[in-house]
Amino acid sequence: MATRKTSPDDLLGPVTLAVGQEDLLLDRAVQEVVAAARAADADTDVRDLTPDQLQPGSLMELTSPSLFAERKVLVVRNAQDLSADTIKDVKAYLDAPVEDITLVLLHAGGAKGKGLLDAARKAGAREVACPRTTKPAERLTFVRQEFRRLGRAATPEACQALVDAIGSDLRELASAVAQLTADVDGTVDEAVVARYYTGRAEASSFTVADRAVEGRAAEALEALRWSLSTGVAPVLITSALAQGVRAIGKLSSARGMRPADLARELGMPPWKIDRVRQQMRGWTPDGVSQALRAVAEADAGVKGGGDDPEYALEKAVVAVARAARGRR
State the residue range of the domain holding 64.
15-130
- 10 domain residue, yes or no: no
Closest CA to 108 of 16, 26, 15, 20: 20
Is pLDDT of 1 > 60? no
**Does residue 185 sit in the same domain as residue 126?**
no
End residue of a domain, out of 115, 130, 145? 130
Rounded mean pLDDT of the chain?
A: 86
**pLDDT (0 to 100) of residue 247:** 87
> What distance in Å separates the CA atoms of residue 326 and residue 328, rounded to the nearest whole number?
6
**pLDDT (0 to 100) of residue 309:** 87
- 247 domain residue, yes or no: yes
Which of helix, strand or coil describes residue 103? strand
End residue of a domain, out of 130, 165, 190? 130
**Does residue 210 sit in the same domain as residue 326?**
yes
Closest CA to 237 of 216, 207, 268, 201: 207
**Does residue 242 sit in the same domain as residue 184?**
no
For the full predicted model, state whether its pTM sits above 0.85.
no
pLDDT digits (tens, 9 = 90+) for 202-235: 446 888 898 899 999 998 998 888 778 767 778 8
Number of folded domains that form the chain: 3
Q: Tell me the range of 2-6, 36-40, 270-274 where mean pLDDT is highest.
A: 36-40
Q: What angle (nearest 5°) sits at the alpha carbon of residue 286, between those of residues 227 and 276?
A: 50
Within 10 Å of residue 293's Cβ, how many Cβ atoms? 13
Helix intervals (H) in the chain: 23-40, 58-62, 84-95, 114-122, 136-149, 156-166, 170-183, 190-202, 205-213, 217-229, 234-252, 259-266, 270-279, 285-300, 309-324
Could you write out the DSSP letters of every residue in 111-160? STTHHHHHHHHHTT-EEEEEPPP-SHHHHHHHHHHHHHHTT--B-HHHHH
